């Protein structure tokens, strides 16, 4: 939505100015930073609605900025990578980025992805908990949708926002198999254009937190050729 604040962290001056111009033309408030340290400080000070983050940055690289921001905030993060290598995309997703775009990219595509991310973030923040079904249980896992907390036995689970949503989806539908595309549509939105493997990344994160042996999961089960289901 126009008027929202976008922070662009990019050290290539020409690209930075082009991004700034195009986002301002769409009606967004634009903040800029030319290195990782400045970008991190700006994000902490201004609480933007979206961060567009280059990977190759001076002083503090984009991966480290992403890792720190995700630990401190739920702000949507769109990573820009010049290499186009799968390892960059996977690392970005594992560190908590919500989406990525490979350089060179279409400005129209980038703006479309940014709009989709901002829209999903706004809808999530505006959504109110249902008066029914606010507490989900499956064995010794308990999820409180109102307080947005989860426990495994007596231990609180430290979950990233998308991990929490994914766990809640699976627990609320115990025994039901979800394909990756179904998970993406439910949690990322039907207009998500990123890699479906981001679901696998989040599943792996969840298993590390809720499985006694993540390599031999007993709760979050892989259904070959289909996707995943939760077993109580």
The size of the chain, in residues, is 232
Q: What is the mean pLDDT of residues 96-124?
A: 83
Q: What percent of the chain shows pLDDT beyond 70? A: 87
Which of 126, 160, 195 is the last residue in one of the domains?
A: 126
* Number of structural domains in the chain: 2
Contacts of 121 (CB under 8 A, 6+ apart): 49, 50, 76
Domain that holds residue 105: 5-126
Same domain for 18 and 116: yes
Same domain for 72 and 121: yes
Contacts of 92 (CB under 8 A, 6+ apart): 55, 62, 63, 66, 79, 81, 100
Same domain for 89 and 156: no
For position 121, which CATH number holds?
A: 3.40.50.2300
pLDDT given at position 86: 61
Cβ pair 9, 52 in contact under 8 A? yes
Same domain for 119 and 25: yes
Q: What is the mean pLDDT of residues 62-77?
A: 86
* Residues 90, 97: Cα–Cα separation, whole Å: 9
In terms of pLDDT, which residue wins out, 73 or 124?
73
Which of 102, 126, 150 is the last residue in one of the domains?
A: 126
Q: What is the mean pLDDT of residues 37-41?
A: 95
Q: What's the pTM value of the predicted model, to 2 decimals?
A: 0.61
* Residues 184, 196: Cα–Cα separation, whole Å: 7
pLDDT at 149 over 60: yes
């Amino acid at each position: 939505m126009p008027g929202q604040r976008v922070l662009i962290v990019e050290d290539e001056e020409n690209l930075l100015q082009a991004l700034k111009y195009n986002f301002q033309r769409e009606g967004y408030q634009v903040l800029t930073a030319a290195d990782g340290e400045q970008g991190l400080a700006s994000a902490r000070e201004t609480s933007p609605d979206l961060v567009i983050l280059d990977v190759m940055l001076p002083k503090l690289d984009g991966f480290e900025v992403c890792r720190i921001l995700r630990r401190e905030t739920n702000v949507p993060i769109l990573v820009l990578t010049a290499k186009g290598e799968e390892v960059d995309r996977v690392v970005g997703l594992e560190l908590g980025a919500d989406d990525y775009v490979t350089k060179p990219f279409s400005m129209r595509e980038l703006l479309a992805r940014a709009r989709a991310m901002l829209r999903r973030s706004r809808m999530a923040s505006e959504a109110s908990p249902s008066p029914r079904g606010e507490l989900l249980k499956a064995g010794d896992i308990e999820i409180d949708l109102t307080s947005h907390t989860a426990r495994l036995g007596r231990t609180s689970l430290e979950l990233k926002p998308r991990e929490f949503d994914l766990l809640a989806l699976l627990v609320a539908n115990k025994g039901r198999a979800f394909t990756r595309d179904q998970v993406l549509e439910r949690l990322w939105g039907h207009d998500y254009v990123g890699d479906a493997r981001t679901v696998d990344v989040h599943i792996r994160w969840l298993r590390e937190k809720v499985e006694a042996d993540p390599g031999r999961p007993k709760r979050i089960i892989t259904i070959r050729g289909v996707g995943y289901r939760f077993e109580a």
